[in-house]
Amino acid sequence: MITKSAYEMSAAMAAGETSSVALTQAHLDRISAVDQHVHAFLHVDTEGALAQAKAVDDARARGEKVGPLAGVPLALKDVMVQQGIPTTCGSKILEGWRPPYDATVVTKLKNAGVVILGKTNMDEFAMGSSTENSAYGPTHNPWDLTRIPGGSGGGSSASLAAFEAPLAIGTDTGGSIRQPAAVTGTVGVKPTYGGVSRYGLIAFSSSLDQAGPCARTVLDTALLHEVIAGHDGKDATSINAPVPQVVKAARDGNVKGMKIGFVKELNGDGYQPGVRSRFEESLELLAKAGAEIVEVSCPNFEYALAAYYLIAPSECSSNLARFDAMRYGIRVGDSDGASAESVMNLTRQVGFGREVKRRIILGTYALSSGYYDAYYGSAQKVRTLIMQDFTKAFTSADVLVSPTCPTTAFKIGEKANDPLAMYLNDIATIPVNMAGIGGMSLPCGLAPEDNLPVGFQIMAPAMQDQRMYTVGAALEAALLDQWGAPLLSRIPALAGTQ
C-alpha cells in the first residue's frame, strides 16, 4: 500500500480496505527500515502520528465527514513550526527548540486530518541546493545513495521517492521545492507568492519564501495544495482571493488549444544533453495532446541568479539577526561575568554553519551604508525587469516551460567547495521566485547518461496556478502511456533494505 498514491490510499480507507492507523504504521515501519540509508527525517513523531491516525479512524467510524486526504501520512519540512515538536531548520542554533505554536500550514493539515509523520532534513535555514548544508548530515537520493536529493528541501523529496511518505510539505525560496522534485523523480509546486500562508515558516528571505505541496503525482499535489492554500490574516503578504481550482485542473488535464511557451534562455548549452532531450520529447508529447508550442524570450533572466544572490542574502542577514542566544535555541559562553555581546558572538559562531555565515556576511555588506543602492537597490531593479519579461511572455503563452535543473543529481561532496557551481543549480527556478508567480516540477524521464530523473518545469501567471496542473496532468498522462508504469517503479532497490 505504501507505493500507492495518496488519492488511492484515501479511497482505500473510504472503502474500508485499510485504516489510517495501518497506513501510518506501514510508513513508520518503512522509515525504520530505510531512513538509516536515506536520512530524510530529522525527527519522527511515532506516538503523535499514530494518535492522529486513530482520531481519523474514529471519526470515520462515527460516520463523520472527513476531508479527501484525511488519514494520509505526510512528511513536514523542518522549517515549519509544529507545537511541541523539535524544529531546527537544519541548524545547531535551534537544536532542542520546541515551538509553542503551530504554523498556519500545520493547523490546516491537522484540521484536514492529514497525519504528520515527522520533520524532514534540509539545508540549514533553507540555504542550499543539495541538503549537504544541514547541521545534521546530508540526505541521500534514493535513486543513488551517493548523490544529492536536491535542496533545500531534500528531506521532503527523498521521503517521497523512498516511499517513506506519500505527501510532503516543502518551501521554495529559489527552487527548494522544484529542484529536489526534479532530481528525485517526484512532483513539487511553488504556489503563487502569498497563495499559502507563511505564518510559522521560519524566514530566510521574506519576499521570496513560499511553502508548497510535494507528492508523487500531479493529482496528489493538487489535493494537498487545496488543503494548505488560502488567505490568512496572520500573514500580511497572504492574498485574499479564492484558491485556484487546482484539483479540477489536475483531473481535467486538457491542453487542447493552450499555448505553451518554452523559454529559449532556459535550455542552453549549459544543460546536460540528457536533460535537454527529455525536455524536448516532453514538448512533443504536449504538442500531440493538442497544445501549441511557441518560443518566447526572457532576456533579463540571465541576470536573475546574480540579483537573487543579493536580495536573498540581504533579507536573510536581517531575518537571522533574531537568533541571538537570548530567546531560544542554544547558548554558548554564558558564564559568570560574560557580556551579552560575547554570548551572542560565540553562539552565532558555533550555531551557524559555513553557508549561512557566508550569506549573512554577503547580505550585511550589500545593505551597508554606501553600498545599498549599488547592490541591493540595483538587484531590485533587475527583479522588476524579470517581472516585465514574464508579463510580456504571458501575452504569447498560457504557461511557460523549461527544464527544472540544468543537470541530474550530482555526487555528494562534488560541489561542496564551489559555491558558484552550487548556486547554478537554481538558474532555471530562481526567476519564478523573483516574480512571485507559480512554478511546478514533474518528472519527465531518465537522462540516458546516468539513468537519473529529469524535471520538467511549468510556470504560470500569478494566481493562475491551475494552469500548471492542467499542463502537468496532461504531460503526466502522456508519459504514463509511454512508460506503462510510474517512473518511481524503476527506482533501484535501496542499499541494505532487501
Q: Are 105 and 111 in contact (CB under 8 A)?
A: no
Q: Are 226 and 255 in contact (CB under 8 A)?
A: no
Q: What is the largest CA-CA distance in the chain?
A: 74
Say whether 153 sits in a helix, a strand or coil.
coil
CA atoms within 13 A on the CB side of 445: 21
**From 19, 77, 108, 441, active-site residue:** 77
**From 10, 152, 205, 317, active-site residue:** 152
**From 157, 176, 282, 317, active-site residue:** 176
In the residue annotation, 396 being an active-site residue is answered as no
Phi, psi of 356 (to 5 degrees): -65, -45
Phi, psi of 83 (to 5 degrees): -55, 125
Q: Are 275 and 407 in contact (CB under 8 A)?
A: yes
Q: Report how far residue 95's alpha carbon sits from residue 428's, in angstroms, rounded to the nearest whole number.
A: 33
Quick one: which of 159, 140, 160 has its CA closest to 150? 140
Quick one: which of 432, 442, 445 has its CA closest to 484? 445
Q: Are 246 and 464 in contact (CB under 8 A)?
A: no
In the residue annotation, 152 being an active-site residue is answered as yes
Q: Report how far residue 64's alpha carbon sits from residue 334's, in angstroms, rounded to the nearest whole number.
A: 53
In the residue annotation, 32 being an active-site residue is answered as no
Helices (H), 15-103: 20-38, 46-61
Task: List CB contacts of 488: < 8 A, sequence separation 6 or more.
Answer: 3, 161, 163, 185, 186, 216
Query: Could you tell me the strand order of the sheet in which 399-403 lies?
Result: 41-44, 115-120, 73-77, 167-171, 211-215, 187-190, 438-447, 452-460, 399-403, 259-263, 292-296
Q: Are 460 and 391 in contact (CB under 8 A)?
A: no
- Residues designated as active site: 77, 152, 176
